[in-house]
């Protein structure tokens, strides 16, 4: 459920401004690094890193794989925010805004307040969608290209640390919580 204006009786019960909240940014960064390390170790158990990134295949091939990997990661970052925007559009029936703030790419809106379930869908949709898509791609990839695609999966999982943190935050709020997410600032409202 989305509402186009804040209902009567609701009051602000919390706010997170990612660009100004260093303790929260630190928690998200620690979670992100932990997820990246675990994901990387899982990948090493599956396919040796040198199968994709080795000079033995030739410098030209190595450089092509590095450039391709960087391109895939950059494309993923844009597509991740696109999925947030798509679900803001579907669930909020409003046009999302996209941008960059500091180290963050974002999608958000200041024209809608989302109930708990809608906000959880918006927050978690990219990690769910891209984990499925990338896992299918990994199952079909040759071992020579495994790590190029797997590094995108590592970025997917570790880069979703902020989304996971916000989902956990919303789950600890009152059941009637409404969330307004402009992309870099999240405001939480409740009757309680």
pLDDT of residue 81: 98
pLDDT of residue 52: 65
pLDDT of residue 89: 96
> pTM for the complete prediction?
0.91
Contact between 109 and 96 (Cβ < 8 Å): yes
Which strands, in side-by-side order, build the sheet including 178-181? 2-3, 113-115, 178-181, 185-190, 11-17
- Closest of 114, 96, 113, 125 to residue 183, by C-alpha: 96
Ranges of the chain whose pLDDT falls below 50: none
pLDDT of residue 59: 81
- Closest of 130, 125, 132, 80 to residue 107, by C-alpha: 80
pLDDT tens track for 93-107:
999 999 998 777 999
DSSP string over the chain: -EESSPPTT-EEEEEEETTT-HHHHHHHHHHHHHHHHHHHHHHHHHS-GGGTS-GGG-HHHHHHHHHHHHHHHHHHHHHHHHHHHHHHHHHH-S--EEEEETTEEEEE-SS-EEEHHHHHHHHHHHHHHHHHHHHHHHHHS-TTTHHHHHHHHHHHHHHTHHHHHHHHHHHTS-TT-EEEE-SSEEEEEE--
pLDDT of residue 5: 83
pLDDT of residue 46: 84
pLDDT of residue 127: 98
pLDDT of residue 34: 97
């Amino acid at each position: 459920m989305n509402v186009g204006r804040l209902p009567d009786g609701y009051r602000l019960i919390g706010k997170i401004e990612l660009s100004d909240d260093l303790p929260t940014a630190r928690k998200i960064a620690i979670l992100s690094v932990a997820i990246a390390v675990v994901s990387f170790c899982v990948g090493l158990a599956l396919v040796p890193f040198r199968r994709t990134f080795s000079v033995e295949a030739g410098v030209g091939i190595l450089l092509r794989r590095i450039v391709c990997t960087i391109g895939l990661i950059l494309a993923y970052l844009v597509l991740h925010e696109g999925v947030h925007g798509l679900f803001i559009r579907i669930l909020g029936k409003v046009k999302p805004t996209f941008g960059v703030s500091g180290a963050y790419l974002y999608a958000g809106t200041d024209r809608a307040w989302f109930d708990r379930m809608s906000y959880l869908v918006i927050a978690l949709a990219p990690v769910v969608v891209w984990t499925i898509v990338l896992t299918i791609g990994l199952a079909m990839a040759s071992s020579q290209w495994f790590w190029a695609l797997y590094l995108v999966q590592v970025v997917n999982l570790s880069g979703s640390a902020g989304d996971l943190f916000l989902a956990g935050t919303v789950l600890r709020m009152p059941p009637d919580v409404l969330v307004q997410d402009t992309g870099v600032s999240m405001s939480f409202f409740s009757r309680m």
